[in-house]
Structure 1
Amino acid sequence: MGVRAQLARLFKGPEEFDLTSGNIGKPLFFLSLPIVITNLFQTAYNLADTFWLGQYSTDALAAISFAFPMVFLLISLGLGISVAGSVLVAQFTGAGAERDAEYAASQTVTFAILASVLLGGIGYFLVDDFLALMGASADVLPMATSYMEVISLGLLFMFGFAVFISLMRGYGDTITPMLVMFGSVVLNIVIDPFLIFGWGPFDPMGIQGAAIATVFSRALALVVGLAIMFRGERGVQIHLRDMAPDLSYFGRLARIGVPASIEGTGRALSMNLLLFIVAFFPDTVVAAYGIGTRVFSVIFLPAIAVARGVETMTGQNVGAEKPERAEQAADLAAKVLFGVLTAAGVLVLFVAAPVASVFTTDPAVVDIAAEFLRYVALTFGFIGVMRAYTGSFRGAGKTLTAAAISVVMLGVVRFPIAWVASGEVGETGIWISFAVSNVLGALLAYAWYKRGTWRDSDLTEDRVDVEDASLDGTVTDD
């Protein structure tokens, strides 16, 4: 009973706190903590693959370093749909428009399915050429290709579950996705070594086994997520009657979602373009780059989670016509994240080598990865600042602004510095590009946010006159 009481105090659902009134800090904490844990589980997928494949071979570890950015790219291309759905659900929930929120969620699921099937098909047929273009070596290319072919075929399940998380978060329920993710991650971690190494009745499948484990566990998670949303007992509810593709509503989703896709795709392209530079170096550098980016994905979990919480709080308060609360939430999140992540960066300075050694036994890879971590460590706090303010931009529907900040940080600052500096000082130039772009990205996001243009948001143009489908099943434009 004591453990259950402690859990009840830590994890409170939307029925226990109001995002649009009262204290700012507590609801943001209760909203963000489950997202931190959900994202930790999400990262556990990648970390499990990285760990087991690091034991399998250095070439397999290098292959996954090429594959992960392509996975990120495919998902990012469709990311805007889930962001748009989350923003609309949050704003309609804040405005008390429950049927509008349900219709937005239902249409989001429909177009997410269509987008994932299309992108998965494109990814499957182009994966080999894409990875070769990125500079994968002859030893690495076949393994990276086999991994990505499986992931492309299963993109529906991976992207579909991400949409479930987004829609539930827009409503304010971050606990349910956390619990579903937990079960999925445990399953993935358990079956990973069986498929990779051929334990028990399975034949050894190497890197392809890791991909199959990921897709299978995500597929089960998506089935559970859809069942939860159709039942509607927790979070936002979806209805079959609302899922017939509505092209006019797709325009509404696209207006918010396309810039968000640009932002996500810009991040993914940056990772892939940096890989193009990294590929000029030996496979030990490629593997170290993969380890470093995986470690960053764990350290930045609080920033990503709190940014998602700020996104939801901003959306609901914009819907409730209380933009001042949204600004207070963004400012609070930026201050807290700067302090927490800066402290984490100081710690990483002292434990960089032991952390890198968790993922590989190759001493050369450990040394390079540790250098990468040390160069970037003291800029971690700036990532928190940028994430907090861009999250508020997205929640207000200003996804184009968030995209512009991301493109400047990654395409105008990080990539050019990496390209020039790596020619002068080797791989160290790539590490320097991360540090400089982190600082400049935070300064740009803060300055832009304080201009206040994000307040100019009009929810009414996204409203639809949703008829009671039990009567005639129609949805018409207002």
Structure 2
Amino acid sequence: MQKESRLKSFLNNPTRALWSMALPIIAGMMVQTLFNVVDIMFIGWLGADEVAAVAFVSPLFFIIIGLTVGLGAGVTASIAQYIGKKDKKNADNCAEHAILLGIAISVLLTILGVYFGRDLLILLGAYDYILDTAHSYLKILTFGIGGVVFSLFFRAILAGEGETKIPMIIGLVGTISNVILDPIFIFLLEYGVDGAAIATVLSQVIMLAMYFIVIFVMKKTFISFNFRHFRYTPNILNMIFKVGIPSSLSMLIISFGQAVLNKILINYGPEEVAAYQIVSRIDMLLFMPCLGIAIALTTIVGMFFGAKEFSKLIWIVKYGISRAVIITIVNVVILYLSAEMILPVFTSNPQVLEVGITYLKIIVLVYPAVAVSVICARICQAFGEGMPLLVVTTIRVLVITAPLALYFEQIGKPIIWVWYAQVLAIVIATGISFFFLQHYFKKFHIVGDTSNS
């Protein structure tokens, strides 16, 4: 059993702390993204309409991810701060609150998916064969909502204490399961898109079972659970919600923006929707290293902030941002030069390939800016401040991207103008994110000598 926190080792060597957390996170997130890529790759072989059907489900499923990951960010930041303060009792209590939140979210979203799934798909613009296929896919995924929610909460709890290897291993097992089950259910049993959903649900069940064994049976974590002595604590819930609610709302706004964009793109054609969906999955892989560093910084900065080790905090923030930007630039160059070789893996449709390659080569150019923006927002979360992410996301998605994309479509501009709207929004959002970070450094009087960190 892990009986001591990682605070001391993190303070002794912040650089090692960052990479010891970030590398498993990066690997785990790449594995999770491969989980999604495998689905879209096999579905892409069925046809453009099938990919478009999955694209309409994605915003709804992203709501589930958004609520859970958003609140999970609050859980991670709160646990990290309590560990920094050497307050294990409240760190444990925070994790117990997260489990109860997971139960409530799972029940609510399952009910919504069962009773209102088709209506939501119609609202998003799905029609005819695409609507029927999307609804069938969504109905099956609804039965796996609990597995998704609890797996994400367990991952957030472990991240709060600095444990990232266990989620990586569990995610790898889930992805391998999905890779094996997808072709069986999609092609061998001839379930088509429904087969992809069944494979996903079964893989999620396997992952959830592994989390239960590691945390509750083997008890290999620093955080421990004792629900017989659970104590409802408003302050803990407030800490979680202060970061979690803005983060969840941000994810929901992104989901809404994706839905609006799908509705705009369907006016250009299902091939354009399919291209957008495929490139979005590829972008996830490209951006994993930056996200891994950002998530690791949430825990480390949260611990250092709780322990009031400001010199080390400043140093690790500068180090993390610089390394994330360098890695992202390298990945952008590689992906830009190999776009024509990568996209044919997902589809053989010439129009989807043409649109997808153009979009990919445009959007990757601003990913170094996205790296800065994401890390700035995560550091603010580590301070217990969730509003910067919400403000930046609202401006990027609702104020700039969606209105401009709709305007360009209405006046008959080619689809490339929609991609330009996204680029402009990202650049502006990055500047605002950096402003927020500077503001909170001043607000919390975070100053110190970084020469010996």
Q: What TM-score, normalized to structure 1?
A: 0.87
Residue 166 of structure 1, CA deviation:
0.7
Aligned to 1:221: 207
CA distance in 2, matches of 1:292, 1:391: 24
CA distance in 2, matches of 1:147, 1:344: 33
Q: Any conservation in 2 of the 1:39–1:301 contact (CA below 8 Å)?
A: yes
2:42 aligned to 37, 44, 52, which one? 52
Residue 242 of structure 1, CA deviation:
4.7
2:415 aligned to 427, 437, 450, which one? 427
Q: Any conservation in 2 of the 1:109–1:243 contact (CA below 8 Å)?
A: no
Q: How does 1:426-445 map to 2 (within 5 A)?
A: 426-445=414-433
CA distance in 2, matches of 1:245, 1:120: 25
> Are 1:208 and 2:194 counterparts?
yes
1:284 aligned to 268, 271, 274, which one? 271
Give the alignment's Cα RMSD to 1 decimal.
2.2
> Are 1:185 and 2:172 counterparts?
no
Q: Provide Cα deviations, 1:161-197, integer angstroms capped at 9, x if missing partner.
A: 0111111011000011111111111011101111111
Distance 1:421 1:408, change over 3 A: same
Aligned to 1:195: 185
> Are 1:258 and 2:245 counterparts?
yes
Q: Provide Cα deviations, 1:205-260, integer angstroms capped at 9, x if missing partner.
A: 11111111111111121121122222432342222325587677544433332112
Q: Any conservation in 2 of the 1:345–1:379 contact (CA below 8 Å)?
A: no
Runs of at least 5 residues in structure 2 that lack an aligned partner in the other structure: 446-453
Aligned to 1:92: 82
Aligned to 2:135: 145
CA distance in 2, matches of 1:252, 1:31: 23
> Are 1:236 and 2:229 counterparts?
no
> Are 1:348 and 2:335 counterparts?
yes
SS in 2 for 1:140: helix
Identify the structure with bigger relative contact order (alpha carbons < 8 Å, sequence gap 6+): 2
Aligned to 2:99: 109
Distance 1:363 1:454, change over 3 A: farther
Runs of at least 5 residues in structure 1 that lack an aligned partner in the other structure: 1-12, 458-478
Which amino acid is 1:407 matched to? T
Residue 149 of structure 1, CA deviation:
1.4
Q: Any conservation in 2 of the 1:50–1:61 contact (CA below 8 Å)?
A: yes
Q: Provide Cα deviations, 1:120-153, integer angstroms capped at 9, x if missing partner.
A: 2112222211111211231211111111112222
CA distance in 2, matches of 1:452, 1:325: 16
Distance 1:31 1:375, change over 3 A: same
Aligned to 1:40: 30
SS in 2 for 1:236: coil
State the identity %: 22
> Are 1:310 and 2:300 counterparts?
no
Q: Any conservation in 2 of the 1:18–1:27 contact (CA below 8 Å)?
A: no
Q: Any conservation in 2 of the 1:396–1:454 contact (CA below 8 Å)?
A: no
CA distance in 1, matches of 2:234, 2:115: 28
CA distance in 2, matches of 1:340, 1:289: 24
Aligned to 2:160: 170
CA distance in 1, matches of 2:317, 2:235: 32
Aligned to 1:270: 257
Q: Any conservation in 2 of the 1:398–1:454 contact (CA below 8 Å)?
A: no
Q: What TM-score, normalized to structure 2?
A: 0.92
CA distance in 1, matches of 2:263, 2:357: 21
Q: Provide Cα deviations, 1:303-322, integer angstroms capped at 9, x if missing partner.
A: 21111011111111111112
Aligned to 1:9: none
Q: Any conservation in 2 of the 1:414–1:437 contact (CA below 8 Å)?
A: yes
Q: Any conservation in 2 of the 1:299–1:341 contact (CA below 8 Å)?
A: yes
Which amino acid is 2:205 matched to? A
Q: Any conservation in 1 of the 2:21–2:162 contact (CA below 8 Å)?
A: yes
> Are 1:322 and 2:312 counterparts?
no
Aligned to 2:384: 397
Q: Provide Cα deviations, 1:27-54, integer angstroms capped at 9, x if missing partner.
A: 1111101000110111111101001111
SS in 2 for 1:291: helix
Distance 1:325 1:414, change over 3 A: farther
Q: Any conservation in 1 of the 2:6–2:162 contact (CA below 8 Å)?
A: no
CA distance in 2, matches of 1:264, 1:248: 24
Q: Provide Cα deviations, 1:77-123, integer angstroms capped at 9, x if missing partner.
A: 34333222111111111111112111111111111121122112112
SS in 1 for 2:436: helix
Which amino acid is 2:439 matched to? R
Aligned to 1:334: 321
Distance 1:15 1:79, change over 3 A: closer
1:448 aligned to 436, 439, 444, which one? 436
